[in-house]
Amino acid sequence: MKVALARLPALATAALVLGGAGGWLGAAEPLVPAQLKEETVRLKDAPGRELTEGRCNICHSLDYIPSNAPAMNRAVWQKEVQKMRDRFGGPLTDEEARQILDYLDGNYSGKP
Ligand code: HEC
């Protein structure tokens, strides 16, 4: 019940935005699908997916993973995960970082 009530204003706002954009400002329409898409990024199904999704979307979209994949291999992913921890303060234990690295290397390494 609480949840249903809390969602109502957001839905009403979304309807207003959609109505407004469709009504007189056609150029604004593409913004809405782009936002929805970002929220529904799902990574490839493999061991480590849930951990990676949970830890790597704290600060930014999961879209960073597939969009960087062509330039990545294990060594580059390792540096990247390390940077998320050291420079940006990402909350990862060594064990979690290792599992995430295995997952990223196995599924999102496009570089030989
Ligand atoms: C504590 C916050 C935080 C967490 C957690 C985090 N990142 Fe990031 N990430 C950032 C910031 C800040 C940037 C750079 C600024 C930007 O472009 O948003 C970034 C950028 C990236 C980039 C783009 C390339 C680059 O270096 O700028 C990739 C790829 C990336 N992150 C992957 C990951 C992965 C994989 C994880 C999970 C292990 C993760 N991030 C977790 C903060 C974080």
Task: Please check whether residue 56 is in contact with residue 107, taking contact to mean a CB–CB distance below 8 angstroms.
Answer: no
- Number of C-beta neighbours around residue 22 at 10 A: 12
Q: Which atom of ligand 1 is closest in space to residue 52's alpha carbon?
A: 37
Q: What is the model's pLDDT at position 22?
A: 45
Query: Sorting pLDDT into bands at 50, 70 and 90, what band is 5?
Result: very low
The answer to whether the Cα torsion of 69, 73, 79, 85 is positive or negative is positive
Q: Is 59 in the pocket of ligand 1 (CB under 6 A)?
A: yes
pLDDT higher for 22 or 58?
A: 58
pLDDT in tens, 55-102: 999 999 999 999 999 999 999 999 999 999 999 999 999 999 999 999
- Quick check: 51 pLDDT over 70? yes
